[in-house]
Amino acid sequence: MSRLPAPWGTRIDRLRPVRFTFEGRAFEGFDGDTIASALAASRQWVLSRSFKYHRPRGAVSMAGAEANTLVQAGHEPNVQADREPIRDGMAVSAQNVSGSLDRDRDALMDRFGRFLPVGFYYRTFMGPRRDSWLKLWEPLIRRKAGLGTIDTAAPHQFFDQVNLHCDVLVVGAGPAGLSAAIVAAKAGADVVICDENPEPGGSLTYRRSDGAALSDLVREARSLPNLRILTGTVCNGWFEDNWLPLIQKNRLYRARARQVILAAGTIEQPAVFRNNDLPGILHGGAVQRLMRHYAVRPGTHAVVLAADGDGYDVAQDLLDAGVTIAALADPRPVGTENGAQAALRARGVEILTGAMIEEARGTAGNRHVAAVKVAGRWIECDLLSVSVGKAPAWQLPCQAGAKVGYEDTSARMVLELARDNVRLCGSISGNIGLEGAIMDGRRVAQAALSSLGHRSLPVTEGRLRPPAANGYAQPLVPHPKGRDFVDFDEDLQIKDLLNAVEEGYSELELTKRFTTVGMGPSQGRHSAVATARIVAAATGRRVGQVGVTTARPPTGPEKLGLLAGHHHALERRTSLHARHLALAARMKPVGSWWRPYFYGAPEQAGELTRQEVDAVRNHAGLLDVSTLGKLEVRGPDAGLFMDRLYTMAHANQPVGKVRYCLMLNEMGSVIDDGVAYRLAEDRFYVTSTTGAVARVYADMLFWNAQWRLKVDVLNLTSAFSGLNVTGPKARAVLEAMESDIDFSREAFPYLGGRDGVLAGVPVRAMRIGFTGEVSYELHCPSSYAPALWDAVIAAGRPHGLRPYGLEASRILRLEKGHILIGQDTDALTTPDELDFTWAVSKKKPFFVGKRSIEMRARLGQKRRLVGLTFPDAAGDLPDEGCLVLRHGNPVGTVTSIGHSPTLGYPIALAYVHAEDSAKGSRISIRCGNGRIVEASVVAHTFFDPENRRQDL
Amino acid sequence: MKLLACPVNGLRNIDEFQSFGPLRETPDPEKTSDAEWGQHLFRADNRKGIIVEWWRHVPSNVFFLAERDTESNEVVRTFLPAETGERP
Domain assignment of residue A106, yes or no: yes
Residues A682, A142: Cα–Cα separation, whole Å: 69
Mean pLDDT of A231-251: 96
pLDDT over threshold 90, residue A210: no
Q: How far apart are CA A31 and CA A922, in angstroms?
A: 83
ipTM of the complex: 0.95
* Strand segments (E) across A249-323: 251-262, 266-268, 281-283, 301-306
Asked whether residue A551 carries a pLDDT value surpassing 70, the answer given is yes
Provide the 3-class DSSP secondary structure of residue A12.
Answer: coil
Same domain, A579 and A725: yes
A39 and A131 co-located in one domain: yes
Res. A536: pLDDT tops 90: yes
How far is the alpha carbon of A63 from chain B, nearest alpha carbon, in Å? 29
Compare all CA atoms of chain B with the CA of A713 and give the residue at the minimum distance: B61
Mean pLDDT across the stretch A2-17?
95
CATH number of B3-84: 3.30.2270.10
B86 pLDDT more than 60: no
Among the partner-chain residues B1, B56, B73, the one whose CB lies closest to the CB of A702 is: B56
Domain residues for the domain of A660 are 629-715
Whether residue A470 lies inside any domain: the answer is no
* CA angle, A152 then A233 then A224, to 5°: 150
Chain B CB contacts of A851 below 8 Å:
29, 32, 37
If you average pLDDT over residues A823-840, what whole number do you get? 94
Q: Report the pLDDT value the prediction gives residue A789, as an integer from 0 to 100.
A: 98
More confident: A95 or A740? A740
DSSP state of B33: -
Contacts of A707 in chain B (CB under 8 A): 87-88
Domain boundary among A715, A744, A778: A715
**Distance between A165 CA and the closest CA of chain B, angstroms:** 13
Dist. CA A324–CA A349, nearest whole Å:
9
Task: Give the per-residue pLDDT at A550.
Answer: 74
A114 vs A800, more confident? A800
Q: Please choose, from the candidates A253, A185, A190, the residue with its C-alpha nearest in 3D space to the C-alpha of residue A217.
A: A185
Average pLDDT score, chain A:
92
Q: How confident is the model over A339-344, as a mean pLDDT? A: 94
pLDDT at position A305 over 60: yes
Contact A851 B63 (CB under 8 A): no
B41 → closest Cβ in A243, A666, A705:
A666
What's the average model confidence in pLDDT over A306-325? 95
Residue A462 lies in a domain: no
Exposed/middle/buried for residue A127 (C-beta within 10 Å: 0-12, 13-18, 19+):
exposed
pLDDT for A411 equals 85
The residue of chain A with its CA nearest to that of B20 is A702
Q: Which residues contact A816 (CB under 8 A, 6 or more apart)?
A: A770, A771, A772, A941, A942, A943, A944
Question: Would you say residue A501 has pLDDT above 70?
Answer: yes
Backbone angles phi, psi at A231, to 5 degrees: -95, 165
Any domain includes A731: yes
- Bridge-based pairing of strands A25-31 and A48-49 is unpaired
- A369, A388, A407 - which closes a domain: A388
Same domain for A86 and A69, yes or no, is yes
Backbone angles phi, psi at B86, to 5 degrees: -65, 155
- Give the pLDDT band (50/70/90) at residue A548: confident
Determine what percent of chain A is predicted with pLDDT higher than 90.
78
**Quick one: A336 and A353 in the same domain?**
yes
The verdict on A79 and A205 lying in the same domain is no
The amino acid at residue B10 is: G
CB contact at 8 A, A256 and A420: no
**Of A115-124, A155-164, A455-464, which one has max mean pLDDT?**
A155-164
pLDDT tens digit string along A173-194? 999 999 999 999 999 999 999 9
Average pLDDT on A37-55 reads 93
Phi/psi at B21 (nearest 5 deg)? 80, 170
The Cα A796–Cα A794 span in angstroms is 5
Can you tell me whether residue A723 is helix, strand or coil? strand
Contact B61 A850 (CB under 8 A): no
- The pLDDT assigned to B88 comes to 45
Does residue A735 sit in the same domain as residue A692? no
Chain A touched by B61 (CB under 8 Å): yes
pLDDT at A70 (0 to 100): 94
Q: Residue A845: pLDDT above 60?
A: yes
Q: Which residues of A touch B18 (CB under 8 A)?
A: 698
C-beta of residue A278 within 8 angstroms of C-beta of residue A110: no
Residue A1 has pLDDT above 70, yes or no: no
CB contact under 8 A, A708 and B87: yes
How many whole angstroms separate alpha carbon A104 and alpha carbon A250?
Answer: 34
Q: Does B43 contact chain A (CB < 8 Å)?
A: no
* Cβ-defined contact of B37 to A697 (cutoff 8 Å): no
Above 90 in pLDDT, residue B18?
yes
CA distance A691 to chain B (A): 17
Residues A353-365, mean pLDDT to the nearest whole number: 94
For A850, the closest of B29, B64, B81 (CB atoms) is B29
Min mean pLDDT across A120-134, A395-409, A803-817 is at A120-134
The residues on A that touch B, with CB distances below 8 Å, are 239-241, 243, 254, 666-667, 697-698, 701-702, 705-709, 846, 850-852, 855, 858
All structural domains of chain B with their residue ranges: 3-84
What is the percent of chain A where pLDDT is above 70? 95
Banded pLDDT at B85 (limits 50, 70, 90): low
- Same domain membership, residue A311 and residue A167: no
Rounded Cα distance between A289 and A292, Å, is 5
Give yes or no: residues A228 and A191 share one domain.
Answer: yes
- Asked if residue A568 belongs to a domain, the reply is no
State the total domains in chain A. Answer: 7
Confirm if A371 and A343 have CB atoms less than 8 A apart: no
Residue A202, Ramachandran bin (φ over 0: left; ψ between -120 and 50: alpha; else beta): left
CATH of the domain at A899: 2.40.30.110
- Rounded mean pLDDT of A912-932? 94
Res. A109 pLDDT band, cuts 50 70 90 = confident
Q: How far is B47 from chain A (nearest CA, A)?
A: 21
**C-alpha distance from A117 to closest chain B C-alpha (Å):** 41
Q: Which of A587, A583, A490, A505 is nearest to A546 (CA)?
A: A505
pLDDT in tens, A315-324: 999 999 999 9
pLDDT digit string, tens, across residues A433-487: 888 899 999 999 999 999 999 876 665 554 444 445 677 888 898 999 999 999 9
Does the pLDDT at position A29 exceed 60?
Answer: yes
pLDDT of residue A114: 58
Cβ distance of A846 and B32 shorter than 8 Å: no
Mutate to test the interface with A, among B34, B54, B57, B65 (most CBs of A within 10 A): B34
User: Residues A675, A660: contact at Cβ < 8 Å?
Assistant: yes
**Is A562 within a domain?**
no
Nearest to A93 by CA among A23, A30, A151: A23
**Count of residues for chain A?**
952
Q: Which phi and psi (to 5°) does residue A814 adopt?
A: -65, -35
Supply the CATH number for residue A16's domain.
Answer: 3.10.20.440
A858 versus A430: which is more confidently predicted? A858
The domain boundary residue, chosen from A715, A748, A774: A715
Nearest in space to A498 (alpha carbons), one of A527, A513, A477, A480:
A477
pLDDT at A304: 98
What single-letter DSSP state applies at residue A514?
A: H
Spatial contact of A127 and A121, defined as CB atoms under 8 Å apart: no
Residues A209, A304, single domain; the answer is no
Q: What is the mean pLDDT of residues A873-878?
A: 88
Residue A136 shares a structural domain with residue A229: no
Angstroms from A115 CA to nearest CA on chain B = 46
Name the DSSP class of A116: S
Nearest-10 crossing angle of helices A806-815, A605-618: 50
- Among left, alpha and beta (phi > 0; psi -120 to 50; other), residue A785 is alpha
Say how far apart CA B5 and CA B11 lie, in whole Å.
4
> What's the average model confidence in pLDDT over B54-68?
95
Regarding whether A227 and A368 lie in a shared domain, the answer is no
Given a cut of 90, whether residue A128 has pLDDT beyond it is: no
Q: Are residues A282 and A307 in the same domain?
A: yes
